[in-house]
């Protein structure tokens, strides 16, 4: 059941990354066509591009952690003898999960401030945009915690991407 839940979150995250990327492509295309053909680009495209990038990063960070696409300093970690690399991967995943958990409350406060604000060009409520920070921390923290659980249960050695091999 745990594996199905994580897999479902992965699928939703992948879909959200794709949707954010599609919005980014559409906004940039409108900008390019507007600037090169019409000589006038709508103001809202700049704002939509920034918002799409925020959500692209928010939904992609956890997936990147899971697959190993985030920057990783394994030169030091993997050169340790014995169980040293495994222990370093465990400590790293625990630290990532803990940091995300610690930052959830401030991110919630940051998001809730946006209720009183709207974006200048699109007039969208900013809490709908600022929630991207909360999504990023939740996603990254969840996948880090998943790695910790899988390592402690002996289901994974903690190397990124190994969790997805079935």
Q: For every residue of the chain, which 3-state class applies, written as one string? A: CHHHHHHHHHHHHHHHHHHHHHHHHHHHHHHHHHHHHHCCCCCHHHHHHHHHHHHHHHHHHHHHHHHCCCCCCHHHHHCCCCCHHHHHHHHHHHHHHHHHHHHHHHHHHHHHHHHHCECCCCCCECHHHHHHHHHHHHHHHHHHHHHHHHHHCCCCCCCCCHHHCC
**CA separation (Å) from 2 to 6, 21, 85, 121, 145?**
6, 28, 26, 42, 12
pLDDT of residue 73: 67
The pLDDT score that the predictor gives to residue 69 is 82
Residue-by-residue pLDDT tens, the chain, 166 positions: 888 998 999 999 999 999 999 999 999 999 999 999 988 889 999 999 999 999 999 999 999 999 888 777 677 777 788 888 899 889 999 999 999 999 999 999 999 999 999 999 999 999 999 999 999 999 999 999 999 999 999 888 888 764 444 4
């Amino acid at each position: 059941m745990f594996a199905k839940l994580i897999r479902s979150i992965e699928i939703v995250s992948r879909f959200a990354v794709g949707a954010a990327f599609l919005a980014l492509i559409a906004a940039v295309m409108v900008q390019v066509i507007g600037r090169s053909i019409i000589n006038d680009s709508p103001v809202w495209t700049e704002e939509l591009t920034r918002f799409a990038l925020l959500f692209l990063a928010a939904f992609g960070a956890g997936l990147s952690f899971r697959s190993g696409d985030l920057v990783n300093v394994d030169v030091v970690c993997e050169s340790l003898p014995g169980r040293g690399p495994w222990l370093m991967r465990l400590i790293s995943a625990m630290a990532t999960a803990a940091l995300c958990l610690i930052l959830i409350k401030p991110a919630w406060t940051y998001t809730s401030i946006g209720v009183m604000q709207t974006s200048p060009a699109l007039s969208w409520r900013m809490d709908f945009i600022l929630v991207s920070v909360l999504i990023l921390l939740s996603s990254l923290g969840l996948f880090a915690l998943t790695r910790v659980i899988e390592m402690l249960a002996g289901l994974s050695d903690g190397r990124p991407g190994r969790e997805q091999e079935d």
